């Protein structure tokens, strides 16, 4: 391990994080107990609405900056790319297969688009599954199985998906995880790219998604394209080109994360009001740049304050 550059493992297994496994066991047990209680008829709908909200867009907009800024930039960047790839693949598959949802009168929460594969299930599988396989902690794996299973079941319970929809989402999510593992660990040494080639590939990936929007007519494609462009370029410039190190002091890293989250939410809740593709694309590009540039901005700001004290 390079001194001064924390890895995922050094953060998770450091002395201050020894309580994490116990917290994960407790949280997993609590979720299972609450799920059983809800199935017995005690405040069931509200519980499953809360669970299903953990698969909503806003939930991941909140968590992705946390992973990137607080845990590990390398992990966060790879997770963002994988998660965004999963998102557009889900939309394209839904558009191609055009399989209907259950009748609207059965819905207990709002839903839109086609049913197969379940976007909530696929997203949860990719997000938590990737973190689980990177952390390789038994308690985190157990938590992943619990949260993905509950989110999948919530979609059926709330009447917005058939069982085969969530099974499809789970299967596609697992296949994407397998693909990510193959690229990262089997082909990692072969696919080492230069700085310029990385920039070019990120730009091409983003721009090639834009024609897909006009095919499937979903703004989610534009959001994904913008986030890939902003997040990809920002990460490559700040982390790889300028070599801005991750903050080694925990409280400072947490402060950067909080400020980053607030900045991202400000951008997100401003942009979400618009339906113009160009504005949405620009807005989500800005969100990606905000996530990746905030450590650099705050570092220069702190140096400026110290210099002029």
Other Cβ atoms closer than 10 A to 178: 11
pLDDT of the residue at 304: 56
Q: What is the DSSP letter of 101?
A: P
Check whether residue 83 and residue 186 sit in a common domain.
Answer: yes
Check whether residue 125 and residue 90 sit in a common domain.
Answer: yes
Q: Are 111 and 101 in contact (CB under 8 A)?
A: yes
- Give me the number of domains the chain comprises: 2
In a domain, 201, yes or no: no
In a domain, 119, yes or no: yes
pLDDT of the residue at 66: 92
In a domain, 98, yes or no: yes
pLDDT of the residue at 193: 75
Q: Are 78 and 59 in contact (CB under 8 A)?
A: no
Check whether residue 228 and residue 181 sit in a common domain.
Answer: no
Last residue of a domain, one of 165, 192, 219: 192
Check whether residue 154 and residue 245 sit in a common domain.
Answer: no
Check whether residue 174 and residue 307 sit in a common domain.
Answer: no
Global pTM value: 0.88
Check whether residue 257 and residue 127 sit in a common domain.
Answer: no
Whole domain around residue 247: which residue ranges? 206-309
Helix (H, G, I), strand (E, B) or coil at 226: helix
Burial 222-249 (b: 16+ CB within 10 A, else e): bbbbbbbbbbbbbbbbbbeeeebebbee
In a domain, 5, yes or no: no
Check whether residue 180 and residue 235 sit in a common domain.
Answer: no
In a domain, 11, yes or no: no
Average pLDDT across each block of 10 residues of the chain; the chain has 309 residues. List them in order: 46 59 88 88 84 92 91 91 95 94 93 92 96 90 95 95 96 95 71 81 94 90 95 91 79 86 91 91 94 83 60
pLDDT of the residue at 164: 96
Dihedral sign of CA atoms 290, 235, 231, 81 in order? negative
Check whether residue 66 and residue 38 sit in a common domain.
Answer: yes
């Amino acid at each position: 391990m390079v001194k001064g550059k924390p890895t995922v493992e050094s953060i998770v297994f450091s002395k201050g994080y020894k309580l994490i496994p116990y917290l994960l066991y407790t949280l997993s047990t609590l979720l299972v107990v609450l799920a059983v209680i809800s199935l017995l008829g005690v405040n069931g709908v509200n519980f499953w609405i809360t669970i299903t909200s953990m698969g909503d867009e806003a939930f991941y907009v909140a968590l992705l900056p946390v992973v990137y800024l607080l845990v590990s930039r390398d992990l966060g960047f790879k997770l963002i790319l994988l998660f965004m790839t999963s998102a557009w693949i889900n939309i394209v598959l839904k558009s191609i297969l055009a399989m209907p949802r259950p009748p609207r009168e059965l819905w207990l929460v709002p839903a839109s688009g086609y049913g197969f594969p379940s976007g909530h299930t696929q997203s949860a599988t990719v997000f938590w599954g990737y973190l689980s396989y990177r952390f390789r902690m038994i308690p985190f794996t157990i938590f992943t199985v619990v949260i993905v299973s509950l989110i999948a079941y919530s979609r059926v319970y709330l009447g917005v998906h058939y069982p085969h929809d969530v099974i499809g989402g789970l299967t596609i999510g697992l296949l994407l995880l397998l693909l990510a593992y193959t690229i990262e660990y089997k082909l990692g040494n072969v696919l080492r790219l230069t700085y310029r080639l990385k920039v070019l590939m990120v730009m091409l990936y983003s721009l090639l998604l834009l024609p897909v929007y006009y095919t499937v007519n979903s703004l989610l494609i534009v959001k994904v394209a913008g986030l890939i462009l902003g997040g990809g370029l920002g990460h490559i410039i700040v982390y790889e080109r300028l070599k801005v190190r991750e903050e080694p002091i925990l409280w400072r890293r947490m402060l950067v994360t909080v400020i980053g989250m607030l900045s991202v939410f400000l951008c997100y809740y401003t942009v979400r009001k618009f339906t113009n593709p160009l504005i949405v694309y620009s807005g989500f590009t800005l969100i990606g740049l905000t996530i990746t540039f905030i450590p650099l901005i705050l570092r220069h700001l702190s140096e400026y304050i110290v210099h002029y004290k």
